[in-house]
Amino acid sequence: MARKRVTSGMRPTGSIHLGNLLGALNNWVRLQEEYDCFYFIVDWHALTTPGGGGAVGYENVGDLTANVHEMAIDWLSAGLDPEKCSIFVQSHVPEVAELHLIFSMITPLGWLERNPTYKDMVQGYKIENPSLGLLGYPTLQAADILAYKGDFVPVGKDQEAHVNMTRDLGQRFNSLFGRNVFPITKALLTEVPKVPGLDGVDKKMSKSSGNYIATNLSAEDTVKKIRTMFTDPVKIRKDDPGHPDGCVVYAFHGIYNKSELEPIRSECEKGTRGCVDCKMQLAEKMNAALEPIREKRAGLEADPNLVREILGAGADKAAAIAKETMREVREVMNIPTRENV
pLDDT in tens, 140-169: 999 999 999 999 999 988 788 889 999 999
* Domain housing 149: 5-194+304-333
Q: Is residue 202 situated within a structural domain?
A: no
Nearby residues of 26 by Cβ (< 8 Å), 6 or more positions away: 78, 79
- The arithmetic mean of pLDDT across residues 113-128, rounded, is 84
**Exposed e or buried b per residue across 252-290, where buried means at least 16 C-beta atoms within 10 angstroms of its C-beta:** bbebbbeeeeeebbebbeeeebbbeebbebbbebbbeeb
Beta bridge partners of 84: none
Per-residue pLDDT at 1: 65
**Choice among 96-105, 159-168, 293-302 with the minimum mean pLDDT:** 159-168
The answer on 253 and 190 residing in a single domain is: no
Rg, Å, the chain Cα set: 22
Say if pTM beats, i.e. exceeds, 0.75.
yes
Per-residue pLDDT at 53: 57
Per-residue pLDDT at 333: 97
The answer on 260 and 135 residing in a single domain is: no
Q: Length of the chain in residues, anyone? A: 341
189 versus 311: which is more confidently predicted?
A: 311
Q: Is residue 103 situated within a structural domain?
A: yes
pLDDT over 90 at 93, yes or no: yes
pLDDT over 90 at 116, yes or no: no
Name the percent of the chain lying above pLDDT 90. Answer: 80
Return contacts of 184-187, CB within 8 angstroms, 24+ apart: 185/145, 185/146, 185/150, 185/151, 185/152, 185/153, 186/151, 186/152, 186/153, 187/152, 187/153, 187/154, 187/155, 187/159, 187/160, 187/163
Per-residue pLDDT at 340: 85
- The arithmetic mean of pLDDT across residues 265-275, rounded, is 95
pLDDT over 70 at 37, yes or no: yes
Q: Is residue 211 situated within a structural domain?
A: no
The answer on 245 and 181 residing in a single domain is: no
Tell me if 169 sits within 8 A of 107, measured CB to CB.
Answer: yes
- Structural domain count, the chain: 2
The answer on 233 and 170 residing in a single domain is: no
336 versus 54: which is more confidently predicted?
A: 336
Tell me if 283 sits within 8 A of 222, measured CB to CB.
Answer: yes
CATH of residue 120's domain is 3.40.50.620
228 versus 123: which is more confidently predicted?
A: 228
pLDDT over 80 at 125, yes or no: no
The answer on 167 and 268 residing in a single domain is: no
The answer on 122 and 142 residing in a single domain is: yes
> 215-243, pLDDT tens digit by residue?
999 999 999 999 999 999 889 898 999 99
pLDDT over 90 at 207, yes or no: no
